[in-house]
Amino acid sequence: MSFGRNPHVAKAEAEELKAATAKDAKAMELAWREAARQWERAADREKDGKRRTEYAAKAEAARANADGGEAPADTDESASEPAPPVDKLLVN
């Protein structure tokens, strides 16, 4: 274990990946609930207030995904922009 790192962050991210690749709805729900639990543990352990609120928000989002059974929404602004058309790309 590394000193100064929050081990629950990696565990929560692993559970989110497991939820994304789950084969059935029940497995997906359980993985999202475990991810939420790990995000809460990460938030409880965190000393930095900004990270604590970020981890708490991720825990709530994971619970919402478990309840709704939907994929997580990307919060990144650039990911929502459409890709440029293929014919306008320069290809060598």
Could you read off the pLDDT of 23-69 as tens digits, one per residue?
999 999 999 999 999 999 999 999 988 999 999 999 999 999 999 85
pLDDT tier for residue 90 given thresholds of 50, 70 and 90: low
Residue 1 has pLDDT above 80, yes or no: no
pLDDT tier for residue 77 given thresholds of 50, 70 and 90: very low
- Contact call for residues 47 and 67 (beta carbons, < 8 A): no
Segment 76-86 mean pLDDT: 53
Buried b (16+ CB within 10 A) or exposed e, 37-60: bbbbbbbeebeeeeeeeebbebbe
pLDDT tier for residue 92 given thresholds of 50, 70 and 90: low
Name the helix (H) or strand (E) containing 41.
helix 25-45
For residues 62 and 70, what is the distance between their CA atoms, to the nearest angstrom?
Answer: 10
